[in-house]
Amino acid sequence: MLRPYSVANVEEACIFFPGIDFLNLYRFPSIDTAHAVADILNERFYNVVILTLIGQWKRSHRGIMTSAVTSRHLYRHRLDISLPPYVVPRTPLHSVMRHNLVVMLFNASSPFREEALRVFEREKDVVILSECDEQPFSVCDADAHKVEWEDIVQQSRFVLLHESMPHFNTALYRALEATVVPVIFAPNLVLPFSDYIDWQLISLQPSSLPRVPDVIARLTPSKVEKMRAQIRKVHSQFSSLHGIVNMTMHVLESRMLPVKARTYEQCNLLAERPLALPHLERPTELLMVTWCDASNALQTLQYIRQLTSAGLLSSVAVIWRDDDNYPTREAWETAVHVEIFTGVEHAYDVQSIVKQNSNDVLLIVPQGHCSLDVKVVRKSLNIWRTQPDRAIAIPCGRSESKAVIVHKMLFSSMVKGDQNVISSEMLIEEILNVVPSLHVITREHADGVLISYECHNSYKRAKIGVNRRAIAMRRTLYFLLL
């Protein structure tokens, strides 16, 4: 893991890792022997990094002490490094949160234990763990039942840790691994990578035990979720041996090259969520309501398949107007569900068809040769999403007919249920006469096709000839809001 940072010439090295295993306590007969070996290394080399588990090192030499057990009164700020322990990751339990707080009283002093019992024994959703009476190396709950404290931590939201408990850093690592917010009472210990990790963002450090219930109760669910997100980010930095080495090298590099180093705020900045732009959202799926007979069945089926392949339709309702020739369902097989209705004579029949469908947005297509372009329909749908209280009229190619995009609720309020539905054009005209419409003008219309300007109860038509204005209009799409 250190190979990318290594150099062949000792004189070129700025950091020196000795080949002596200071982590092995049995290698040295006494602490004085370890000190003597470290002094020999410091006389010859600069910036000697000593990885050790021995807590009582004398700090007179210039070696960089890196340890997972670092006392605050022996820690040299901006020189020594407090490391997290390397713990083999556990398989997470797929269980629900059963406890709000777990209080660990392993090896706690008598005053701390008595105060903790007095504060938490009447609190709800609090589990108190301590040593078993008959087996001091095992963990038991308040009912003297032997339990696995790591499993209890994974099923909790908060865990209280104190510095006197054995393997304090291991318990802290397990809490972060399970994204459990730790409540820390460790005034005499330096937390891992405390020079660069803001532990106030991922833990609670109350001033006294009686304040713990109030501090937890004041946390909102959004605040707890934000702390858990920050815990996941911090834990990912040293959840493996490779991550611990990389973080250590980053700390050393930032001390020697402070201009290149990230600031304290940058190290603790939570990554922002990517911005979701409106045009990247999935388009609204439509219910197509169309009128059809035997003469235009093939053309209708063709543009249904085109719009379906573009992901614009989720279902189709075909109102069949030919009583002499009934269609077969095999001929109307498409990627979406197509229902064919016969005998539709009144507006309430159409309302019933629309009401039974789960889609909220309708694409009403008139009977006849209405060729709908996929790009125009998609653009019209995007415009409707910005104006959902309007009806969007889409010209049918070179025909004077128009299709309409409208919300189901507006459609039901605009159409009179007892009136006869003579044709699809009459129904569309009724919709456009009630609701102001937004017309999409395409290049074909700029070439001289008739354009309709719809208002509440009247409309007028204008003929646009092929002139300079029409030539300029060919180059783009025009949208007129009336």
More confident residue, 391 or 269: 391
pTM across the whole model? 0.52
> What's the number of CA atoms in the CB half-sphere (13 Å) around residue 225?
3
- Supply the pLDDT for residue 420: 67
Residue 445 pLDDT class (50, 70, 90 cuts): very low
Q: What is the average pLDDT across 119-126?
A: 86
Instruction: Lowest mean pLDDT of 139-148, 245-254, 418-427, name the range.
Output: 418-427
Q: Which of 10-24, 32-46, 201-215 has the highest mean pLDDT?
A: 201-215
Whether 181 has a pLDDT exceeding 50, the answer reads yes
Q: What is the average pLDDT across 436-445?
A: 49
Instruction: Lowest mean pLDDT of 43-47, 100-104, 176-180, 477-481, name the range.
Output: 477-481
- Supply the pLDDT for residue 36: 76
Name the residue among 192, 173, 251 with its Cα closest to residue 69.
Answer: 192
- Supply the pLDDT for residue 212: 92
Q: Which of 86-100, 266-280, 315-329 has the highest mean pLDDT?
A: 315-329
Whether 215 has a pLDDT exceeding 70, the answer reads yes
Reading the block at residue 144, the tokens are 């003297």
- Supply the pLDDT for residue 203: 93
Whether 14 has a pLDDT exceeding 90, the answer reads no
- Supply the pLDDT for residue 428: 76
- Supply the pLDDT for residue 25: 55
Q: Which of 60-64, 112-116, 242-246 has the highest mean pLDDT?
A: 112-116
Whether 461 has a pLDDT exceeding 50, the answer reads no
Whether 480 has a pLDDT exceeding 70, the answer reads no
Q: Enumerate the domain spans of the chain.
A: 3-87+245-251, 99-239, 286-447
Whether 438 has a pLDDT exceeding 60, the answer reads no
DSSP-derived pairing of the beta strands 391-395 and 402-407: antiparallel
Residue 224 pLDDT class (50, 70, 90 cuts): very high
Q: The CATH number of 286-447 is which of 3.40.50.10160, 3.30.2310.20, 3.40.50.300, 3.90.550.10?
A: 3.90.550.10
- Supply the pLDDT for residue 204: 93
Over residues 249-265, the pLDDT tens digits come to 888 877 777 666 666 67
CATH 3.40.50.2000, domain 99-239, yes or no: yes
More confident residue, 469 or 376: 376
Q: Which of 259-268, 324-333, 369-378 has the highest mean pLDDT?
A: 369-378
- Supply the pLDDT for residue 223: 92
- Supply the pLDDT for residue 477: 33
- Give percent above pLDDT 90 in the chain: 8
Name the residue among 54, 62, 97, 102 with its Cα closest to residue 78.
Answer: 62
Whether 228 has a pLDDT exceeding 60, the answer reads yes
Over residues 156-168, the pLDDT tens digits come to 999 999 988 877 8
For the chain, the average pLDDT equals 75
